[in-house]
A and B are shown apart, each in its own frame.
Chain A
Amino acid sequence: MLSIKNLSASVEGKTILRGIDLEVGAGEVHAIMGPNGSGKSTLASVLAGRDGYEVTGGAVTYRGMDLLDMEPEIRAREGLFLAFQYPVEIPGVTNLYLLKAGLNAIRKHRGEEELDAMDFLKLIKEKAALVDMKQEFLYRAVNEGFSGGEKKRNEILQMALLEPHLGILDETDSGLDIDALRIVAEGVNKLRGADRAIVVVTHYQRLLNHIVPDHVHVLAGGRFIRSGGKELALELEEKGYGWIEEQAA
């Protein structure tokens, strides 16, 4: 599904990622943990194709394609989805409009027919119910005036609608109450399947109780300094990052 080889990247001349290796197979769930500023969001941004990040070395293959060579919208249409750590507010554009434009762009890319207004409305209402989101949010401007948790839930709604092959969730659990956390986890678990994979970036073990990862990786100083099974997350929760950072040094 996703194969990252020795990936390095910098922002504004500052090196952030220093040789990342990661193999994510179809059907797998990976968790990435690590201290603030270690480069987790940078990695997610590079994978999604955000401007301003310079890849200085390495390669990324996604479903057989050279990911780094693709425009962000093409990555999205090929089934890569990033749930933002900080979802963006877009005044004047309704959630509904964004979702419809996104879904239809993706459908078109896949050679499927675009959904008309009626069919789309039916579909989106189902998805909104799935993530327990009130319909009024569909008619509000994208993320404008949404609470922190509502924004995160909105990301999950988008993911549920767009049904990506690879979902990258950047701290989607931060700021969520217990119920919302469960909903997010359910949403993710529903997406689990043979031709899908999930990468969750999180600071908290509690999410991993709901989304049980196959692999856990620790990112520090722009590199993975430790990988392991789900028990690694428990160990981190207990001891913090210091001990592995020392071991890695």
Chain B
Amino acid sequence: MNDTVTQYSEQFAALSPVFSEGEPDWMTRQRGAAMDSLRQSGFPGQRDEDWRYMPLRPLTARAFDTDITGEVDDLPLDHWLIPGLESHRFVFVDGVLNDAISSNTGLSPGISVRSLASVLRQGPDALPGVSADESLPGNGFLALNAAFFRDGYVVDLDADLEADSVLEFLFVSAGKGKAGQARNILRLGPNARVKVVERHVSLDGLNALVNTSTRVVLEAGASLDYHLVETMGRGTSMINDVVVDQSRDSNLQIMTATLGGDVVRNNLKVRLNGPGAHCELLGMYAATGRQHVDNHTGVVHAAPHCSSRELYKGVLDKRSRGVFHGRIRVDQGAVKTDADQTNDNLLLSPDAEIDTKPQLEIYADDVKCAHGATVGQLDANALFYLRSRGIDPENARSLLTYGFVNDVLGDVEVEPLRDFLAAELSRRLISHE
């Protein structure tokens, strides 16, 4: 056991009686098993192939504080609202739902949004499926989350329900040195449809960790538009683990926009389990300074006639670094698979870097799999062209950058969010540091 794990172990001994109180036994057992697995396997290191390029030290050199209250005095909430976005908003502070600052009234019947902490206190059978899951967490961060999580959202949509407004989850990191570790569950019944915006924010200079784990289940014909908007301030790092299971004919569009944070790692895994399922993985990342953005995606075609489309676009400035690792696995029998993956990158500085790697594992015949990756710089001719039309160099650069990510943005259907992302992109890349 290294020092960091020892510190977590001590925190667990001290705090788990508090946060396990009122929980069903199976959950307390799951937490214990997760802590054991962390003690045994520790955190990933540079030698693990999947974590090779990640600067892990800021995340694992010391233990973050897991003693979370979720209470705060004064948050500049207005500052973190997306202009024009109409939504039911749920605000989590350090991973714990804060009802007082949420605006969550008037949900249509058939949609339920609950706090995981409260669901767990409704009795041992409140979370069927989750309670039966005996599998051990796949890495140290997931183990940490499973052992220490305090809360998260649990969304359930009844069959055939079409949500009329956006569900917005705003996760605010507020405590210095804290690890906010939400565990979320999103379940859509057959043919249900909903749009979700999950945003992560923090003030600069917190030295905080966001370690989130989300499970998504789409039943037959369900359709989810899921936007992850990562706009944390400087000094906050993040591990975001999302696993999606899709039944037949279901539809997923997931957009991961990473614009803030020091070191950000997105693990996204989508399993297409029923024929006719379709997923669209969109990504946009913009980094500057010494930011590191790491996207690991995995799409598993486990059934025939499924399609997946993946488009990730990144803009890297200054000394920032990006990693894209896109894995596609086509299982035996998953015939007529149609999978497409693209990762395009724009380097704005000679010191910026991108490592991009596709990985295709195909065990079926009669499939269509395409992938491609590009790395380029701003086109000097285009820059001059814009300037020769009176546009100043700064705006010209931002226009070209915007143009570069525009095909990802163009697929975002929630218009206020699209506008927000475009503005945020220029603001972050153009601001003088």
Contacts and interface: CB of A to CB of B under 8 A. Distances in A.
Pick the most buried of B389, B399, B402: most chain A CB atoms within 10 A of its CB.
B389
A76 B385 CA distance: 11
Interface string B385-421: 1111111110110011011111100000000000000
B21 to A, nearest CB: 53
Which secondary structure dominates chain B's binding surface?
helix
Interface stretch (A31-39, A87-95, A175-183, A225-233): A87-95
A126 interface: no
B390 A90 contact: no
Nearest to A77: B390
Contacts of A27: none
A75 B389 CA distance: 9
A109 B393 CA distance: 15
Interface residues of A, number: 31
A184 B402 CA distance: 31
Interface string B368-398: 0000000000011110111111111101100
B382 A76 contact: no
Contacts of A19: none
Contact of A90 (B380, B388, B403, B405): B403
B379 A76 contact: no
Contacts of A92: 402-407
Interface in A90-112: 90-93, 97-98, 101-103, 105-106, 109
Nearest to B399: A93
Nearest to B381: A88
A105 B385 contact: no
A158 B385 CA distance: 12
Contacts of B387: 49, 71-73, 76
Across the A-B interface, give the 4 residue pairs with the lowest CB-CB distance, nearest first: A92-B403, A92-B406, A102-B389, A93-B403
Given A49-B388, A73-B393, A105-B392, 15 more contacts: A50-B388, A73-B396, A76-B387, A84-B388, A88-B379, A88-B382, A88-B384, A90-B382, A92-B405, A93-B406, A98-B386, A98-B389, A101-B390, A102-B391, A109-B390
Interface of B: 379-382, 384-393, 395-396, 399-400, 402-407
